[in-house]
Structure 1
Amino acid sequence: MKFGVPLGLLHPAAWKDVAVAADELGFESMWLPEHLVFTTDLSTAHYPGATSPGIKPGTPLFDAPAYLCWLAALTSHVKLGTAVQLLALRHPFVSARAFATLDVVSAGRAVCGVGAGWYRGSGTRPGCRSRAGGARLDEAIEVVRRLWSEPVVAHSGRFYSFPEVAFEPKPVQPHLPVLAGGESDAALRRAALLCDGWISMPHTLASIRPRLAALARLRSGVPVTAHAYELGSPDEVAEWAALGVERLIVRPWTRGRDAVAHLTRFATAYGLTPPVAPGLTAAGYGLTPRRPRPDRHRLRPDAPVGPGLTRPHGVVRRGDGRWCRRSARPPGGCGGGGGPWAGRRCRGTPGARPMSGDGGGHGRWSRAPRR
């Protein structure tokens, strides 16, 4: 079973820490929801299965693929998905470019979860009174998949028409996964016939069974991602797997400030395996030897410099007795941070010593102060 983390249920200030923790602990994916605006009329904000409005008008909103691009730079293994992106609210060029960019900068970790949206307040395109959101979404899925895979694309449809265009770069993944979210019959048909899987709303084992049965009648073996916020114990995971669920999006915390601690406990209890970090051996320890870099400034062993020989112009003796070209020294004469002059005497000054007598905490050497 793969486990994902829903960032949208946390304050945005916690997203960075939770994303990094999820990546290091072995969670398979993390997910962001998407809305463009919230209306002040809360009568349109009934979240399925909830008795109170699911949103507040002042909730901070971000562009999900753009924010995931930033999180991609902070992580190395975890997949980055939307749950879900309101694909029909934008032209397919915009959506295709956003997810292609995310896939490139994340080295192939993007997952495009799409849906018509549960929130009626953002269920239509800005400035458009038509509510043909499902049909528009289906056509948008078709267009973005063609843009991601075909050298040139021309399209003439009910909602979008454009002449032949090229779209580069393509996503890193040969087939960027598109998952359909939603609980309606139309959403299940979209998941079974147009997309690569289905993303459910929050469910329990009992509540998800009817939807899974309806999905199986459309097509068997559809990959399922389920939001399981009430997951009771590790023993329950096998029951979800028996229903055909391959990924569970879990929320093991009750307060956002405790999210990282609860993720750590969850990873231990459910046997998540931290990924092997780049540069480590398969056993998880010991650095992989790097290819040594040649020192362009060091003289060859057979260079005619030594006792009884004339020193070439521009060559000086380093603190360890070796000869080096003067240009090898960084500006200021002191080398810090592990360079070839780290810990060496500055400009060959007699009596040079580390600042405060111990290198000043950074390994640099400095001229002795005047007295």
Structure 2
Amino acid sequence: MRIGIVTPVLIQHPGTRGDWETGAGIDDVATIAAAADRLGYHHVTCSEHVAVPVDIAAERGGTYWDPLSTFGFLAARTTRIRLATQVLVLGYHHPLEIAKRYGTLDRISGGRVVLGLGVGSLREEFDLLGAPFDGRGARADDALRALRAALGRPTPEYHGEFYDFADVIVEPHAASERVPLWIGGRTPRSLRRAIALGDGWVPFGLRLDDLATMLAATPPPPGMDVVLAAGRPLDPLGSADAAARALTRLRDAGATIAGVTIDASGVDHYVDQLSALEQLARPLGIEFD
């Protein structure tokens, strides 16, 4: 198993946001990303919402940094760590738009992009953007097939139910021949979608016991990543044993990658926590780059 971090500041949920995050900026995020890069963590994350209705933001949060521009900055401040969208909403974009924009990011970052992708659930945002909400699952499946045909190719071609293109040039295109596609979701259908069309599954909002049951019922094939969240923020300096137990539970549940949130009071404390977590995780057999 490896460890990626759910990057602070970039998404600010009311229930998990630290006080220090409110006034933090991109240089603070870059300091954390550079430390994670140096220590060998697997990835940093950034999610996508364009415009969250005020009443819904009270529950989901209203701060969501744009993944493309944010990762463009972080790519220049890091060398190894992967840049994972967690997640882009497929229905908000044409597949060629994703292939071009994130293919360019993959090129400038040296092949470090991981595309976390989801069907989406916020109808109000779909309506605001003029994107169809009904039938979004079938449309997302077709978009995933189109993305697989387009990423890493200068002259992509695809003919599907919703997307159809040929005789076009997409340059620059992704440096990776197979950009990893992680499928987000919280249903058995999302796991089946990940097995059929993706390279990984990144569920959210589910109890670890329920995740383990789902994975036992629908085992992922060898080589597919299962990215499970550590639930509560980890405090390796203050509660090392609890952090170690949390990582072990994730691995036992079937995680190949743990996505962790870190309990910290500021940037310096966050970096110290990353170092402490790396030191306690290595004896558990957890891998770092």
TM over 0.5: yes
Match of 2:155 among 149, 152, 155: 152
The alpha carbon displacement at 1:9 in A equals 4.3
Alignment correspondent of 2:239 = none
Is it true that 1:261 corresponds to 2:278 in the alignment?
Answer: no
1:69 is paired with a residue whose SS is: helix
Measure, in 2, the Cα distance between the counterparts of 1:264 and 1:101.
Answer: 31
User: Matched residues in 2 for 1:130 and 1:112: separation?
Assistant: 21
The equivalent of 2:35 in structure 1 is 21
1:177-203 per-position Cα deviation (integer Å, ceiling 9, x unaligned): 101010123211210100011002155
**1:4 corresponds to:** 4
Which structure is higher in RCO with an 8 Å CA cutoff and minimum separation 6? 2
Q: Report the alpha carbon displacement of residue 134 of structure 1 after superposing the two structures with TM.
A: 1.6
Q: Distance in 2 between matches of 1:125 and 1:166?
A: 30
Determine the C-alpha separation between the residues in 2 that align with 1:274 and 1:160.
39
Which residue number corresponds to residue 16 of structure 2? none
1:243 corresponds to which of 246, 253, 258 = 253
What does 1:60-209 correspond to in 2, within 5 Å? 61-123=64-126, 126-150=129-153, 152-202=155-205, 205-209=208-212
Distance 2:272 2:253 in 1: 30
- Report if aligned partners of 1:82, 1:112 keep a CA contact under 8 Å in 2: yes
CA distance in 2, matches of 1:220, 1:156: 27
**Matched-pair contact (CA < 8 Å) for 1:22–1:78:** yes
Residue 171 of structure 1 and its aligned partner are, at CA, apart by 1.8
| Counterpart code for 1:225 | V
- Structure 2 partner of 1:224: 226
Greater Cα offset, 10-19 or 118-127: 118-127
- SS class of match (1:174): coil
| DSSP-derived class of the 1:41 partner | helix
Distance 1:207 1:16 in 2: 35
Check the 8 A contact 2:99/2:174 in 1, yes or no. Answer: no
Find the aligned partners of 1:62 and 1:87 in 2 and give their Cα distance. Answer: 17
Deviation readout 1:132-169 (Å, 9 max, x if unpaired) = 22222111111122112445334443322334212233
TM-score between the two structures when normalised by the length of structure 2:
0.80
The DSSP-based 3-state class of the residue aligned with 1:165 is coil
Matching residue of 2:59: 53
8 Å CA contact 1:84–1:117 kept in 2: the answer is no
Are the equivalent residues in 2 in contact too, given 1:229–1:252 (CA < 8 A)? no
What one-letter code is carried by the residue in structure 2 that aligns with 1:121? E
CA contact (8 A) 2:5 2:261 kept: yes
Distance, in Å, in 2 between the alignment partners of 1:154 and 1:194 is: 17
Aligned residue pairs, count:
262
Q: Is the 2:202–2:226 Cα contact (8 Å) retained in structure 1?
A: yes
Q: Deviations over 1:292-329 (max 9, x none)?
A: xxxxxxxxxxxxxxxxxxxxxxxxxxxxxxxxxxxxxx
Per-residue deviation at 1:21?
1.5
- Offset at residue 37 of structure 1 (A): 1.0
Cα RMSD after superposing both structures = 2.6
TM alignment of 1:194-343, pairs within 5 A: 194-202=197-205, 205-216=208-219, 219-221=220-222, 222-230=224-232, 232-257=242-267, 258-271=269-282
**1:86–1:233 CA distance, 2 compared to 1 (3 A):** same
2: CA distance, partners of 1:145 / 1:193: 12
Say if 2:230 and 2:247, in contact at 8 Å, map to a contact too.
no
- The 3-state SS of whatever aligns with 1:117 is coil
Percent identity of the aligned residues?
28
Rate the CA distance shift 1:204–1:256 in 2: closer, same or farther, 3 A: farther
Give the structure with the larger helix fraction: 2
Show structure 2 runs of 5+ residues with no match: 13-20, 235-241
Check whether the contact 1:23–1:77 (CA below 8 A) recurs between aligned residues: yes
Cα distance, 1:159–1:124 mapped onto 2, change above 3 Å: farther
Aligned residues of 2:103 and 2:173 also touching (Cα < 8 A): yes
Deviation at 1:5, TM superposition (A): 0.8
1:125–1:137 Cα change, 3 Å: farther
Q: Using the alignment, how far apart are the partners of 2:174 and 2:212 within structure 1?
A: 35
Check conservation: 1:66, 1:98, Cα contact below 8 A.
Answer: no
CA offsets 1:46-79 (integer angstroms, 9 cap, x no match): xxxxxx71213xx2x3320221121010001111
CA–CA distance in structure 2, aligned partners of residues 129 and 88 of structure 1? 7
